[in-house]
Amino acid sequence: MKKFVFSFAFILLLLVVSKGYSQSAVYFCTETGAYGFAYGYSTESEAKTEAYNTCISYGGTNPVLITSTYQKGYGAIALGNDANGNRVIGVAVGFSTLTGAKNEALKQCKDYGGYDVKIENTWNDN
């Protein structure tokens, strides 16, 4: 009985704590270069759905989930082009500083072959 009470209390605590978290998601379409992002949602499913639909509305034909998180914080999206002229994306979510998120997004985009990389979007869902 004690194990059941402890398990129930632990699950209840997780549910209460998770209500304070923010969900973020980013989708990218490699075929068209369109992307969509969402933040500040109460569930991961809602954030993913909104980011996916946003990518589609901007011309995405086959969006792929790049990242999602339940952590609050700063986010950034960097875009560039690879040697073939294809769009490349770098994403950072859940960072404690805007500078940290921007630096990570730029680094990821460059690591994936991006040239002329620029920050396109930032947000803070604290």
Give tens-digit pLDDT for 8-55.
333 333 333 334 456 899 999 999 999 999 999 988 899 999 999 999
In the chain, % of residues over pLDDT 90: 75
Whether residue 7 lies inside any domain: the answer is: no
Position 125 scores a pLDDT of 86
Whether residue 119 lies inside any domain: the answer is: yes
Q: Work out how many domains the chain is built from and give that number.
A: 1
Domain residue limits at 113 = 21-124
Whether residue 16 lies inside any domain: the answer is: no
- Give yes or no for a contact between 82 and 115, defined as CB atoms under 8 angstroms apart: yes
Displacement of CA 65 from its chain's centroid (Å):
9
Whether residue 28 lies inside any domain: the answer is: yes
Whether residue 52 lies inside any domain: the answer is: yes
Position 11 scores a pLDDT of 32
Whether residue 42 lies inside any domain: the answer is: yes
β-sheet with 87-95: strand ranges across: 87-95, 74-81, 115-124
